[in-house]
């Protein structure tokens, strides 16, 4: 129930911001706004402002709209023709249409700016221990240290350290110079050099630090949920169990465990669990699922569990806080990165390289919102910003019925010197509506397959 309420709040915020962008710019351009609605269907509540605009809250809270005076929709009194949307210049109409997605980008930028001042919490690049005979061991890297830099680049954040190492592997760099800090004495920093000439690293199936023999603090594998009729339920796994070993080998991370399950689809494996301080051994056979990515079919293993979001110790977390001016730069950088990430996914989708698992419908968004909220308000706000960017970009796609489709028609009008005929527009709107219905169907299928 909480996830559902959080989902409605999340969608409500994004819709209000998006539609307010259209609304405020329409007002500034002298267009009469007849209705500002949050949701669709029967009205639950409505009121009018001094300009005669009706504001309403409707029963189905999965969107909203701003209805403007327009001669193409209904007859307009001659005294109000100058306030009709269709009688405004192409530039004004384009600004009104683009203002919705722009408002979503502004919201995301503001959230990132705020978070940069409050402080981003991320995992430190802590070296808990080092595997014997590993590349890290050969470089004489001690335990209980923090990676400060890798080849001169700030690597205090675990995500950043992973990204740097991925880049080194991609460029086939022969060595990496690490600046390390003693966790018991933050004034003591020293240097170690990793030899990467014999580094065997598979970026698709391995964690870079783990492949070097570095063990870092991980979220415990506390089982939160066991799906009904799943291999996990049949094997006797229960919520609250903690997975400690796989085939008698210690499990160091959730990612390592996921790789292990994927690799052993349709094979019997042995798991060691801690249940109420009692060690239990179970046999389980991960079921095989096939994920289609374009022309490729990738087999994965699944046992049907989800893990609890238990926080790490404070000493393993990093808080990056910036002044207001620097935060503007951080926010713009994060916005650019997230836009690039989403555009990259869209390119992969066009090429047929995206998976249905990469998209989420209402259920997936609700669960993700609840999951992020459990990590704290900062995590939830970052998630809200990412969703806002998604909404902005999706609305700019050149699909009729979306803002991008309207902008496309305006571009054609600018080039040919006259509006696109209503009949052609209606035909394209019909096609666009079908595409949106298909996309929504895919998101529901993704939710169904995932949950």
pLDDT tens digits, residue range 116-159? 998 777 788 999 889 889 999 999 999 999 999 999 998 988 88
Do 76 and 84 form a contact (C-beta atoms < 8 A)?
yes
Catalytic residue among 19, 121, 149, 256: 19
pTM listed for this prediction: 0.67
pLDDT at 375: 64
Greatest alpha-carbon pair distance for the chain in Å reads 85
- Reading phi first (left if > 0) and then psi (alpha if -120 to 50, else beta), residue 309 is in beta
Find, among 211, 212, 150, 160, the residue nearest to 181 by Cα: 150
- What are the tokens at 45? 């509540």
pLDDT at 347 over 70: yes
pLDDT of residue 359: 62
Q: Which of 218-222, 276-280, 412-416 has the lowest mean pLDDT?
A: 218-222
- By CB neighbour count within 10 A (0-12 exposed, 13-18 middle, 19+ buried), where does 420 fall? middle
pLDDT band at 423 (very low <50, low <70, confident <90, very high): confident
Q: What's the pLDDT score for residue 56?
A: 92
Residue with the bigger pLDDT between 416 and 148: it is: 148
State residue 282's pLDDT score.
Answer: 94
Closest CA to 366 of 350, 387, 389: 387
The whole-number pLDDT of residue 232 equals 93
**DSSP helix, strand, coil percent of the chain (3-state; round to 5):** 45, 25, 25
pLDDT cut 70: percent of the chain above it = 90
The whole-number average pLDDT for the span 176-200 is 93
Among 217-231, 249-263, 292-306, 327-341, name the one with the lowest average pLDDT: 292-306
Which residues on neighbouring strands pair with residue 177, listed in sequence order? 193
d(C-alpha 368, C-alpha 387), whole Å = 11
Q: Other CB atoms closer than 10 Å to residue 266's CB: what's the count?
A: 10
Question: What pLDDT band is residue 429 in, cutting at 50, 70 and 90?
Answer: confident
Residue of 189 and 310 predicted with greater confidence:
189
| pLDDT score, position 231 | 93
Residue 59 has what pLDDT?
85
Transcribe 260-308 into DSSP letters. Answer: HHHHTTTS-EEEEEEETTEEEEEEE-PEEEEEEETTEEEEEEE--EEE-
Alpha carbon distance 148, 207 (integer Å): 19
Q: Is residue 448 predicted with pLDDT exceeding 60?
A: no
374 pLDDT band (50/70/90 cuts)? low
pLDDT at 215: 85
- Whether 170 sits among the annotated catalytic residues: the reply is no
Using DSSP, state whether 50 is helix, strand or coil: coil
Percentage of the chain lying above the pLDDT 90 cut: 39
- pLDDT for 449: 54
- Domains within the chain, CATH numbers bracketed: 94-119+328-451 (no CATH), 123-215 (2.30.42.10), 223-309 (2.30.42.10)
What's residue 354's pLDDT?
A: 58
Closest CA to 410 of 64, 30, 88: 88
Per-residue pLDDT reduced to its tens digit, 269-302: 999 999 998 999 999 999 988 766 555 667 788 8
**Sign of the dihedral through C-alpha 410, 411, 415, 420:** negative
- Give 49-59 pLDDT, tens digit per residue: 998 899 999 88
pLDDT at 205: 67
Q: For position 379, what pLDDT does the model report?
A: 79
Cα–Cα distance between 376 and 121 in angstroms, integer? Answer: 10
The highest-confidence range among 7-21, 89-103, 123-137, 192-206, by mean pLDDT, is: 89-103
Give the C-alpha separation, 323 to 118, whole Å.
9
Round the average pLDDT of the chain to a whole number and report it.
85
Task: Give the range among 132-141, 163-172, 439-448 with minimum mean pLDDT.
Answer: 439-448
CA distance 362 to 355: 18
Given this model, what pLDDT does residue 361 score?
A: 60
């Amino acid at each position: 129930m909480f996830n559902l309420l959080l989902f409605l709040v999340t969608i409500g915020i994004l819709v209000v911001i998006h539609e307010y962008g259209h609304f405020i710019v329409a007002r500034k351009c002298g267009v009469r706004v007849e209705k500002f609605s949050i949701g669709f269907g029967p009205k639950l509540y409505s009121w009018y402002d001094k300009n005669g605009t009706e504001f309403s809250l409707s029963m189905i809270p999965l969107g909203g709209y701003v209805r403007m005076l327009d001669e193409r929709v209904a007859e307009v009194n001659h005294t109000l023709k100058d306030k009709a949307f269709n009688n405004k210049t192409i530039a004004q109409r384009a600004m009104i249409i683009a203002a919705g997605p722009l408002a979503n980008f502004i919201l995301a930028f503001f959230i990132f700016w705020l978070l940069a001042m409050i402080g981003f919490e991320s995992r430190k690049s802590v070296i808990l221990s080092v595997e014997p005979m590993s590349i890290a061991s050969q470089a004489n890297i001690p335990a209980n240290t923090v990676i400060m830099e890798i080849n001169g680049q700030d690597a205090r954040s675990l995500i950043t350290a992973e990204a740097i190492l991925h880049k080194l592997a991609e460029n086939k760099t022969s060595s990496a110079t690490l600046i390390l800090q003693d966790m018991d004495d933050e004034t003591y920093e020293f240097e170690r050099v990793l030899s990467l000439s014999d580094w065997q690293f598979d970026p698709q199936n391995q964690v870079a630090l783990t492949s070097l023999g570095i063990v870092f603090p991980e979220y415990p594998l506390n089982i939160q949920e066991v799906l009904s009729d799943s291999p996990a339920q049949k094997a006797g796994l229960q919520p609250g169990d903690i997975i400690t070993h796989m085939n008698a080998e210690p499990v160091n991370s959730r990612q390592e465990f996921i790789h292990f399950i994927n690799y052993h689809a349709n094979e019997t494996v042995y798991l060691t669990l801690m249940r109420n301080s009692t060690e239990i051994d179970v046999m389980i056979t991960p079921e095989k699922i096939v994920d289609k990515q374009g022309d490729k079919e990738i087999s994965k293993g699944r046992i049907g569990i989800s893990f609890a979001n238990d926080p790490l110790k404070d000493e393993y977390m990093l808080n990056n806080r910036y002044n207001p001016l620097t935060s503007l730069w951080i926010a713009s950088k994060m916005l650019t990165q997230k836009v690039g990430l989403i555009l990259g996914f869209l390119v992969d989708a066009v090429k047929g390289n995206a998976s249905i698992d990469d998209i989420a419908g209402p259920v997936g968004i609700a669960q993700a919102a609840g999951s992020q909220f459990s990590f704290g308000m900062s995590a939830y706000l970052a998630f809200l910003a990412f969703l806002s960017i998604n909404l902005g970009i999706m609305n700019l796609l050149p699909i009729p019925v979306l803002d991008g489709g309207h902008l496309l028609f305006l571009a054609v009008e600018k080039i040919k010197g006259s509006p696109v005929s209503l009949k052609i527009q209606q035909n394209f709107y019909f096609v666009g509506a079908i595409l949106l219905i298909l996309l929504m169907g895919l998101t529901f299928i993704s939710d169904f397959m995932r949950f």
